[in-house]
Amino acid sequence: MEGYLGSYALLGLVLAAGVLLFVAAFGANRLLRPGRPAEPAGKRISYESGIDPVGGDWAQAQIRYYVYAYLYVLFAVEAVFLFPWALIFDRPGFGGLSIAEMGIFVAVLALGILYAWRKKILSWT
């Protein structure tokens, strides 16, 4: 298929083939499934690691788990900024200034961890 409209015709054929495959898969599913599937006892109850569920289906998650996740993401992303610095550290002209910049950066990270530790966010109780 050549020309400007040829690429659109090819796109149309690919989309039509995708729709045809979708319809064929769902049609085969409808034709091959059992007419009246068996429903064994307990099929629709909740499953909790092989133990019968106890209580309701709503559970409150404690905020500290979100704080741990947030702190991990925060410090992992900030640690990624250390890699480009390590790559250019040995180049001429980046010596003292880059050490001072990274010293400030790591000090801010250390202050963040110290703040979280002093607020007892990092204690697992």
Q: Encode pLDDT of 39-60 as tens digits.
A: 777 677 766 666 666 666 677 7
Residue pointed to by tokens 């992303």: 77
Domains of the chain: 4-119 (1.20.58.1610)
State how far the Cα of 27 lies from the Cα of 30, in Å rounded to an integer. Answer: 5
Predicted confidence band of residue 26 (pLDDT cuts 50, 70, 90) = very high
State how far the Cα of 18 lies from the Cα of 98, in Å rounded to an integer. Answer: 54
